Amino acid sequence: MSIEDRIQATAKNIEGKLQEAVGEITGDPKDKAEGKAKQVDAEVAHAKEDLKDEVKQVID
């Protein structure tokens, strides 16, 4: 997995956590939902990259 992909996924996860926290503070359900969605996207990206790493190890 490329470091850049992991960095982007981590950044998206942090952005989602911040957005969810802002939504929690302001009471904005849209921000909370969007923040959670970004976190899920980041988790999926990490899982995809983990799978790529595992396949590469099996091939090597």
CB of 19 within 8 A of CB of 35? yes
Q: How many CB atoms lie within 10 A of CB 20?
A: 19
Q: What is the pLDDT of residue 2?
A: 81
Rounded percentage of the chain residues whose pLDDT exceeds 90: 82
Task: Provide the whole-model pTM.
Answer: 0.84
Q: Dihedral of CA 50/55/58/59: which sign?
A: negative
pLDDT, tens only, 7-34: 999 999 999 999 999 999 999 999 999 9
Q: Looking at the chain, how many residues does it have?
A: 60
How many Å apart are CA 22 and CA 58, to the nearest integer? 42
